[in-house]
Amino acid sequence: MLLVDSHSHLQDARFDGDRGAVLARAAAAGVEAIAVCGEDLASSEAAVALAARTDRPRLFATAGFHPHEAARATDGALAAIGVLARAGNVAAIGEIGLDFHRERAPRAAQRRALDAQLELAARLGLPVSVHSRDAEAELEPHLARFATRSPLASRGRPHGVLHAFGGTLEQALRYVGLGFLVSLACSAGYRANDEARRVAAGLPLDALLVETDSPALPPRDRRGERNEPAHVRDAVAVVAEARGECAETVAHATAANALRLFGAAVEAPA
Ligand SMILES: [Zn+2]
What is the CA(36)–ligand 1 centre distance, in A? 9
pLDDT value, residue 69? 95
Which secondary structure element, helix H or strand E, spans residue 184, and what is its range? Answer: strand 180-184
Span from the CA of 7 to the centroid of ligand 1 (angstroms): 6
pLDDT digit string, tens, across residues 194-229: 999 999 999 999 999 999 999 999 999 999 999 999
Q: Find, among 134, 163, 125, the residue nearest to 38 by Cα.
A: 163
Q: Report the sign of the C-alpha dihedral through residues 235, 261, 159, 91, in that order.
A: positive
The Cα 198–Cα 186 span in angstroms is 14
pLDDT for position 264:
52
- 9 alpha carbon to ligand 1 midpoint, in Å? 6
Expressed in angstroms and rounded, the spacing between residue 56 Cα and the centre of ligand 1 is: 21
d(CA 229, CA 7): 9
> C-alpha 118: how far from its chain's center?
15
Which of 88, 164, 155, 79 shows the shortest CA–CA distance to 120?
79
- How far is residue 143's CA from residue 39's CA, in Å, rounded to a whole number? 19
Of the candidates 185, 230, 234, the one whose C-alpha atom is nearest the C-alpha of residue 210 is 185
pLDDT of residue 85: 95
Average pLDDT per 10 consecutive residues for the chain, totaling 270 residues = 95 98 97 98 97 96 97 96 93 96 93 97 96 93 96 88 97 97 96 96 98 96 95 98 98 96 55
* Residue 1 confidence (pLDDT): 81
Q: Is 109 exposed, middle or buried (0-12, 13-18, 19+ CB in 10 A)?
A: middle
Q: What is the CATH number of the domain that holds 51?
A: 3.20.20.140
How far does the centroid of ligand 1 lie from the alpha carbon of residue 8, in Å? 6
Q: How many residues does the chain have?
A: 270
CA of 242 to the centre of ligand 1 (A): 23
Q: Is 87 left (phi over 0), alpha (psi -120 to 50) or beta?
A: alpha
Radius of gyration over every alpha carbon of the chain, rounded to an integer in angstroms: 17
| DSSP letters spanning 135-178 | -HHHHHHHHHHHHHH-SSGGGT---EEETT--S-HHHHHHHHHH
Ligand 1 centre distance from Cα of residue 156 (Å) = 26
Quick one: angle between helices 136-149 and 107-124, nearest 10?
A: 20
Distance between CA atoms of 175 and 87, rounded to whole angstroms? Answer: 29
Angle between helices 194-202 and 232-243 (to 10 degrees): 70
Q: What is the pLDDT of residue 266?
A: 37
Please report the pLDDT score of residue 6 as a whole number: 98
What span, in angstroms and rounded, lies between the C-alpha atoms of 166 and 135? 10
Spacing, Cα 244 to ligand 1 middle (Å):
28
Count structural domains, the chain.
1
Residue 197 alpha carbon to ligand 1 centre in Å = 20
21 C-alpha to ligand 1 centroid (Å): 21
Q: Residue 71 is part of which domain span?
A: 3-266
- For 129-152, the pLDDT digits (tens) are 999 999 988 999 999 999 999 988
Q: How far is the CA of 185 from the centre of ligand 1 (A)?
A: 11
